[in-house]
Amino acid sequence: MAEVKACSCAADCIPEFCDWKCALRVVDELLATPGAVTGDDTDLLLDFRSLIRQQKNAEATLRVFCELRRRLEVKHYLAFYRLRSWLKNHLLAEVRACPAAAPEQIPVRLNFYCVEAVRRDCLCAAAERGNVLLAPRLNFVFRPINKGPRTLSAATVCASSA
């Protein structure tokens, strides 16, 4: 895979969450590699890039990721492992036992290839915590990121993976 020299999201790269290669960088590497992604997959990958760059619509991000994973993971396993690791650290499920209940944050496990299966897994995880899910509501959200001054180690992470 071709190496992209500049880290495209260096300003937002937080090591605790980034697992050494942030998602934008992985997507950029895929896009920059001749023949790695073609046709509709390229369009979908660009959509995914836009979604993770904006970090506003977690559900759509997850939906597009699952679609991309079904299409491309066999060919680009390592890239999708990095993307999975990144999403696992950046996404949360907020589960309410009923519409009026306070939300409980549940980690998102990406052992599945469709959003509905991920949603069901999160609801099961909430139930295992002792919640009685009367009329549950679930929203996927991006974990808030500390965008304060970057540490030396954060800079090192991006530099070392460049």
Count of residues of this chain found to bind other proteins when the rule CB under 8 A is applied: 14
- Residues 120 and 138: their CA atoms lie apart, in Å, by 10
CB of 108 to other proteins, least distance (A): 14
User: What one-character-per-residue DSSP string does 95-153 give?
Assistant: EESSTTSPPEEEEPP--SSSHHHHHHHHHHHHHHTT---SS-EEEEEEPP---SPPPHH
Q: Which residue of 24, 45, 62, 157 would you call a contact of other proteins, by CB under 8 A? A: 157
Q: Encoding tokens for residue 67?
A: 């679609």
CB-based contacts of 88, cutoff 8 Å, min separation 6: 107, 108, 109, 110
> Shortest Cβ distance from residue 54 to other proteins (Å)?
26
Q: What is the contact mask toward other proteins in residues 15 to 54, using x (rule: CB under 8 A)?
A: ----xxx---------------------------------
User: Among residues 82 and 96, whose Cβ is nearest to other proteins?
Assistant: 82
Among 5, 38, 74, 148, binds other proteins (CB under 8 A): 74
Q: Where does this chain bind other proteins (CB under 8 A)?
A: 19-21, 74-75, 77-78, 81-82, 85, 156-157, 160-161
